[in-house]
Copies of this chain bind each other. A is one copy, B any other.
Amino acid sequence: MSVPDSIGAPQTDTRRIRTRQRKEDIASKAAQIFARDGYANVGMRDIADAVGIKGASLYHHFPSKEDILFAVCLTVTQEPAETNLPLLDAPGTPTERLSSLVRAHLVHLNSRRVEYIVGLHELASLTTEHRAVIEDFRRQYQRRVRDVVTAGMRTGEFTVADARTAAFAVTDMLNGISNWFHDDGEMSIDDVADTYVDLAVHRLLGAPQ
């Protein structure tokens, strides 16, 4: 409200944004290398090289190497939980709502493909505390998928017998894509999304059409 604030705040914000972008750049570059070589086989110096700074400078942005891994894992668990799950609360049938989630999931997976590889493979290298946070997000996501499957079973749209197993089958199908899909292949991610809505929602779960 006061004059000092209105002058000082923008500068502080700008600096904060630049710092945040640097953090995101580090996490993004690190994810690329982690995905290719495995978290444990990557040194802080390797990450620093990719960013264009020296190893010690990384510690200005992250307190430890494990915190970089944690940031990468959050990207593929917190972001989908916060961005995709609300789609399950939108109006529409279970078929429509789950189809939206599948599409959103695949768009996100495609935009963060290396992060998904890391997040699905390197959980064991997180501290117990960080791992618990990540697994909470995953459990939450899994539970919401299971719940919409149960909802579709109640309406009669989905014809499977066991919601829990079917939900695992669906999420495993979706996340598995990170291991074989490449942007430069014959199919676009939208092609894959169309195919997977058909395979998972209509065929596997039995939704009409």
Interface set of A (CB-CB < 8 Å, partner B): 36-41, 120-122, 124-125, 160-162, 165-166, 168-169, 171-173, 175-177, 179-180, 187, 192, 195-196, 199-200, 203-206
Measured CB to CB, the closest approach of chain B to A95, in angstroms, equals 15
Q: A176-B175, A176-B176 are in contact. Are A36 and B124 (CB under 8 A)?
A: yes
Contact of A39 among B40, B169, B196, B199 (CB under 8 A): B40
Q: Do the beta carbons of B165 and A195 come within 8 Å of each other?
A: yes
Cα A36 to Cα B131 in complex, Å, equals: 12
Cα A121 to Cα B40 in complex, Å, equals: 12
B residues in contact with A121, CB < 8 Å: 120-122, 124
Cα A206 to Cα B198 in complex, Å, equals: 12
Q: Which of A122, A165, A166, A169 has the most CB of B within 10 A?
A: A169
Q: A40-B39, A203-B203 are in contact. Are A177 and B172 (CB under 8 A)?
A: yes
Q: A38-B124, A41-B124, A203-B206 are in contact. Are A169 and B173 (CB under 8 A)?
A: yes
Contact of A199 among B36, B166, B177 (CB under 8 A): B166
B residues in contact with A175, CB < 8 Å: 172, 176
B residues in contact with A168, CB < 8 Å: 176-177, 180
B residues in contact with A205, CB < 8 Å: 203
Measured CB to CB, the closest approach of chain B to A56, in angstroms, equals 23
B residues in contact with A176, CB < 8 Å: 168-169, 171-173, 175-176
Q: Do the beta carbons of B165 and A187 come within 8 Å of each other?
A: yes
Cα A204 to Cα B168 in complex, Å, equals: 14
Q: A175-B176, A177-B172 are in contact. Are A41 and B125 (CB under 8 A)?
A: yes
Measured CB to CB, the closest approach of chain B to A106, in angstroms, equals 12
